[in-house]
Chains A and B, each alone.
Chain A
């Protein structure tokens, strides 16, 4: 059983990590746009987050795989990871936006007061604090993306779920196959959450 599933583990982990990083970059950027942008940029960023959150992740995966990959050469693995990242970015936009808004106004005023530009103040003062505030919600997002990563099996990426299906078919033991997969997801979720909790502890600031 393990020889069927283990190779899928790496794929699941990499899809998840790529999606989370991409989603984090998109989310942080869109959140900054939504809080500090001019009305046009604010509107665009808000529409992204509303639209993407309204569309099922599977639909986004299919769109990216069938539509986009007709124009640019994308492996199923990359299409899947990018689609998940794009979806996660919308949720992370909301997480980072809330975190940025929770930072007291005086932090920006003080940063400008020592001569920082707005962009530099956002980068050096606001975002580092917002990131710390966001970590508990990000831990939650990690577990959601990890579970959503099973959806990329629909475009044939050989991740954990796809492997479990193989295993179930060839060994005729679906309970064992999917049960093992479930255990893997549990262990992965706990590991990733613990890792982020360690980051949270490391950077904790008291207010």
Chain B
């Protein structure tokens, strides 16, 4: 457990709301993310976890509320959103590797085309990141030639290449065969140990127990309960949390929406 009182938050979310049309999807979410903190967000499908994550790096613009990245309010008018996104790495459930680029190309393209790094420097840094995720030997392959777990590790390297202040993971292992989740979780665990600040939507309870400093349970677009993993998993205060956890631990990776008696379709 890191000391949260001493440090200035990397990310501060204040009363964040996001609606699509008139449908509220994220409602009044507030929390701070401290340097090197690892936050795992859990909650049933359709509850707004992905939307929340995509609001954090402005892939979705919040309907209301404020987000601060270090000292800058990134939701303020006139902020360069592309510049904000460069500072936050995002890892997707479906990997979304660039299909026409090699593994190396996937990691360098952001450095060369966005940060304007010289190709040589970018390749050097990309190789470092690929070493970190154990994919350096595959640098000349195309995404189609990789397994799901390998794709996801390249996805992580691509995000790391931009030297992000925070890493956002949206169900990084949900699209993987069970035998491949381990290699991705191991990489994430290593990043956590190295002090990377991470927000992870995941239902890998074992991983959450080991790596998370805090677990946030979301329900219907709100934070229902949050706390350190050992307390959340053993003595949840909310009845809904308890219900959700019992569903999750009896096997299913993600319970279908509506399983909590609240249909969010």
Residues of A within 8 A of B (CB): 104, 106-107, 109-117, 120, 124-125, 128-129, 132, 203, 205-207
Contact A114 B144 (CB under 8 A): no
| Interface range, B side | 20 to 34
Chain A residues with Cβ under 8 A from B90's Cβ? 110, 113-114
User: In whole angstroms, how far apart are the Cα atoms of A114 and B154 in the complex?
Assistant: 14
Q: Decide yes or no whether B142 CB sits under 8 A from chain A.
A: yes
Which of A114, A125, A206 contacts B142, CB < 8 Å? A206
Contact B98 A125 (CB under 8 A): yes
Contact A129 B100 (CB under 8 A): yes
Query: A120-B113, A125-B109 provided; 16 other pairs, C-beta below 8 A?
Result: A104-B94, A106-B96, A112-B59, A112-B85, A113-B96, A113-B159, A114-B86, A114-B90, A114-B158, A114-B162, A115-B83, A120-B114, A124-B113, A125-B98, A132-B100, A203-B100
Contact B114 A115 (CB under 8 A): yes
Contact A207 B144 (CB under 8 A): yes
Contact A113 B114 (CB under 8 A): no
Q: A114-B162, A116-B82, A207-B144 are in contact. Are A129 and B110 (CB under 8 A)?
A: no
Q: A114-B114, A120-B114 are in contact. Are A205 and B92 (CB under 8 A)?
A: no
Chain A residues with Cβ under 8 A from B96's Cβ? 104, 106-107, 109-110, 113
Chain A residues with Cβ under 8 A from B159's Cβ? 113-114
What are 20 A-B pairs at a CB distance below 8 A? Answer: A106-B96, A110-B90, A110-B97, A112-B82, A113-B85, A114-B90, A114-B109, A114-B114, A114-B158, A115-B82, A115-B87, A116-B82, A116-B113, A120-B113, A120-B114, A124-B109, A129-B98, A132-B100, A206-B144, A207-B99
Q: A120-B114, A125-B98, A207-B144 are in contact. Are A110 and B85 (CB under 8 A)?
A: no
Q: Decide yes or no whether B57 CB sits under 8 A from chain A.
A: yes
Chain A residues with Cβ under 8 A from B109's Cβ? 114, 124-125
Contact B144 A205 (CB under 8 A): yes
User: In whole angstroms, how far apart are the Cα atoms of A107 and B89 in the complex?
Assistant: 15
Chain A residues with Cβ under 8 A from B110's Cβ? 114-116
User: In whole angstroms, how far apart are the Cα atoms of A206 and B99 in the complex?
Assistant: 8
Contact B85 A114 (CB under 8 A): yes
Chain A residues with Cβ under 8 A from B98's Cβ? 107, 110-111, 125, 129
| Closest beta carbon of chain A to B126's beta carbon, Å | 12
Which of B82, B92, B142 contacts A110, CB < 8 Å? B92
Chain B residues with Cβ under 8 A from A116's Cβ? 82, 110, 113-114
| Closest beta carbon of chain A to B85's beta carbon, Å | 4
Question: Which chain B residue shows the least CB distance to A103?
Answer: B99
User: In whole angstroms, how far apart are the Cα atoms of A106 and B92 in the complex?
Assistant: 9
